[in-house]
Chain A
Amino acid sequence: MLRIGVFVCHCGSNIAATVDVKKVVEMALHEPGVVHAEDYQYMCSEAGQEKIRAAIQEKHLSGIVVCSCSPRMHENTFRNAAERAGLNPYMVEIANIREHCSWIHKDMEEATEKAVILMRAAVAKVNLNTPLQPGESRVTKRALVIGGGIAGIQTALDIADAGYPVDIVEKTPSIGGRMSQLDKTFPTLDCSACILTPKMVEANAHPNINIYTYSEVEKVSGFVGDFTVDIRKKARSVDMSKCTGCGVCQEKCPSKKTPSEFNRGLNNRSAIYTPFAQAIPNVPVIDREACIKFKTGKCGICSKVCQAGAIDYEQKDEIITEKYGAIVVATGFDMIKLDDYDEYAYSQSKDVITSLELERIMNAAGPTGGHLERLSDGKAPKEIVFIQCVGSRCADNRGKSYCSKICCMYTAKHAMLIRDKYPDVNVTVFYIDVRTPGKNFDEFYRRAVEEYGVNYIKGQVGKVIPQPDGKLLVQGADLLDNKQILKEADMVVLAAAIEPNPDVRKIATMLTASIDTNNFLTEAHAKLRPVESPTAGVFLSGVCQGPKDIPETVSQAGAAAVKAIGLLAKDKLLTNPCTAHSDELLCNGCSQCANVCPYGAITYEEKEVNDHGIREVRRIAVVNEALCQGCGACTVTCPSGAMDLKGFSNRQILAEVDAICR
């Protein structure tokens, strides 16, 4: 029988206000094996941990139960405390009496009763715990960054600067992401390309960075420190080693009717194209859907004009398999589709545009050469209306429930830039709330109002009605003046909500990383581990985790890089010792466990066993502890009950069941 100590935490008043901690201590002393029980205000504090250490040493405890918050929060804290006191860290069990008890129940008697039962279950389990030793696994000193936007580029640069090789996988033909589509950036109004392109060049030239553009992650296997990833390099139809980036092929290409993705479909591109002039790599791609050669077999002009002979119509998709120690997801975002917002006439009028489209129109390299003009007739607009929160903060199924966070600031930026460049243009912004927390952000918004005379109206727009003369009639509410406004505008700009790149769900599934209902990747802890996924070795960078502006994205990208570097800097990782193992006397070598193991961790050996004095050679299952992740699938499959999981053994779980049902 173990000598068990029970430690009950008050967590200030978080637990003690609804659970009678003294009662839990008293009840604990009646449990089998319990020789010590005490309560303290904050068990996780230095003083609390010291109490645990003292009790372990003075009372020669061989197992402890801490009744406190979720084990996802402080299990490691208490395991380390136990280890420092000379106890095996796996002789610690946590009874979760905060998240699963005190925080959700109001009645003291009821909550105390439940806390006692949870404590009993933990005591019953710890009675059957055995000391466990973690194994070791190696770390592949190479990182993978999925996504080549500013988040991915920054993460890759930071990891590469620390001396580790990094691969960036980017789906489109060039790195740069959303930021490359922007004209200016808030709150300083510096040009986006001027600050992004040097970073793109730096990433491209960095000896430790290898960029796979026009490529996608196809398959991921393995685990922290030792991932194996298949990357599909889509056929570019252009030999990257030969192409000089002269651009003649794009000029001569006769198929020029494909909407440009980079310019959000506002103008067309050729079938062989680089998305934008500063693309990295500066090597075009043939869009096989649009290419006349691929569609009809006749044409081949690009091949004829290419001096370098780089065009290769025969090129095939290539699968590259590489090993990585850490994976950073930086898949970014897109604007939501506005098909369901018919009231804003987005699909009815060319002069109703999204903010990202305005961004392209304002850009000197954009479809209008940087001139602010109506896309319908090319006339200069005199009256522009901005509509905020289109699809953000929606409780219905058309939009997103969250605030997209960046729209208030970029709308202030657009309004300011327009008023600055075209002082005769009136700018009206319909807003619900102006949300501008951040350094120099509110000052920026106030400048738009005070210095640039942008007209902010508190209220939403109900509908936009295209008029026969080409004008747009905007019907909105002014809630402060309590009146309805009818305004003729030449152009309407919609601040559409942003959403995670739809591909991220596929990637999350491959990485077994958790994802929420809005398709944002879940962090390991909302406050304390914001750049790590709950899946070890997977890190989150940028908007894939939640809406962010550029400064926040860059800081998070750096943070994700640091976490990845911290992992890559280790030579060996301690593995989870809660692995499966087979009882060689019970195993009959049927292979069922190997069939369900997702990690291929189970093999079979011919082994001599001593079965009650009878020595014979039998085929038995052997678990590779470095590969086993401890899911327990095999334990339930095993028909003879030979497989068990350390740390979550059959007997332990049954003991918990018994304790709860007692």
Chain B
Amino acid sequence: MSIEAREEFKPKIVAFCCNWCSYAGADLAGSSRLSYSADVKIIRVPCSCRVNPMFILRAFERGADGVIICGCHPGDCHYTSGNYYARRRMTLLFSMLDFIGVENGRTRVEWVSAAEGVKFSQTMHEFVDKITSLGKNVRLEDLRCRKS
């Protein structure tokens, strides 16, 4: 990667946020005017357990540089147990991502409650920094999907 390209690097980051905790936490970050990078785009899902590993692979395939999944704190899931499923699925998926060459740091699971606007913003800061330091994700990107 040339120096020039590095300077211009703006990561594409997809954040899956559960409707009950993290999405509300992101709303609180917004209403408290706690800024974080515009590179983060949030997709609302009913629960972190709705996040299919397929969605994450697709994001990487389409050129995302990082994917973060946010859910309710363990024990606080609106649907009782959804975040536990999410945690198990993501642990498994992430270990395999490593295997196919997508660095561990490109994915993350974080618990953010509806009252944790500050935590949401901080988490996004940290994650964007991490992805920026990792640079562009080229391993899994389907070149046919890349814009010419």
The residues of A with any CB-CB pair to B shorter than 8 Å are: 70-73, 96, 98-101, 103-107, 110-111, 113-114, 117-118, 121, 508-509, 512, 514-517, 522, 534-535, 578, 596, 598, 629-633, 635-637, 645, 648, 650, 653-654, 656-658, 660-662
Contact = CB atoms under 8 A, between A and B. Distances in A.
Interface of B is mostly: loop
Contact of B62 (A70, A631, A661): A661
B12 A629 contact: no
Contacts of A654: 54-55, 58
B79 interface: yes
A103 B51 CA distance: 27
Contacts of B81: 596, 598, 633
A631 B116 CA distance: 22
B68 interface: no
B31 A631 contact: no
A598 B52 contact: no
B115 A514 contact: yes
A241 B75 CA distance: 39
Interface of A is mostly: helix
A653 B27 contact: no
B82 A98 contact: no
Contact of A514 (B21, B44, B49): B21
B27 A70 contact: yes
Contacts of A103: 30-31, 33
A661 B12 contact: yes
Given A99-B30, A516-B113, A636-B51, A660 B80 contact: no
A181 B132 CA distance: 58
Given A657-B14, A660-B14, A72 B78 contact: no
A658 B62 contact: yes
Given A512-B76, A632-B50, A661-B14, 7 more contacts: A99-B26, A596-B85, A632-B82, A633-B79, A637-B85, A653-B45, A660-B12
B94 interface: no
A631 B14 contact: no
Contact of A631 (B24, B79, B114): B79
A223 B66 CA distance: 36
Contact of B78 (A99, A535, A653, A657): A535
A635 B36 CA distance: 32
Query: What are the 6 tightest A-B residue pairs by CB atom distance, in nearest-first order?
Result: A99-B30, A632-B50, A631-B79, A661-B62, A516-B115, A631-B47
Contacts of A117: 41
Given A110-B38, A113-B38, A534-B78, A632 B27 contact: no
A106 B35 contact: yes
11 contacts: A104-B34, A113-B38, A512-B78, A512-B79, A522-B114, A631-B46, A632-B47, A633-B81, A645-B46, A657-B59, A660-B43
Interface residues of B toward A: which range?
Answer: 35 or more
B70 interface: no
B37 to A, nearest CB: 9
A113 B10 CA distance: 12
Contact of B41 (A110, A648, A650, A660): A660
Nearest to B33: A103
Contacts of A657: 14, 43, 55, 58-59, 62, 64
Contacts of A114: 38, 41
Contacts of B127: none
Contacts of B130: none
Contacts of A99: 26-27, 29-31
A660 B64 CA distance: 9
B102 interface: no
A121 B41 CA distance: 10
B54 A650 contact: yes
A632 B23 CA distance: 16
Q: Identify which of B114, B116, B121 gathers the most chain A CB atoms within 10 Å of its CB.
A: B114
A118 B62 CA distance: 16
B84 to A, nearest CB: 10
Contacts of A516: 113-115
Given A111-B38, A660-B41, A645 B50 contact: yes
B35 A104 contact: yes
Given A117-B41, A534-B114, A661-B63, A631 B49 contact: yes
A376 to B, nearest CB: 43
B76 A508 contact: yes
A104 B30 contact: yes
Contacts of B33: 103-104
Contacts of A106: 35
A198 B59 CA distance: 64
Contacts of B20: 514, 534
Contact of B115 (A522, A629, A630): A522
Nearest to B75: A509
B27 to A, nearest CB: 4
A650 B52 contact: yes
A73 B23 CA distance: 12
A662 B145 CA distance: 9
A96 B43 CA distance: 10
B50 A631 contact: yes
Contacts of A648: 45-46, 50
A662 B62 contact: yes
Contacts of A70: 23, 27, 30
Contacts of B38: 101, 105, 107, 110-111, 113-114
A653 B82 contact: no
A630 B46 contact: yes
A30 B50 CA distance: 31
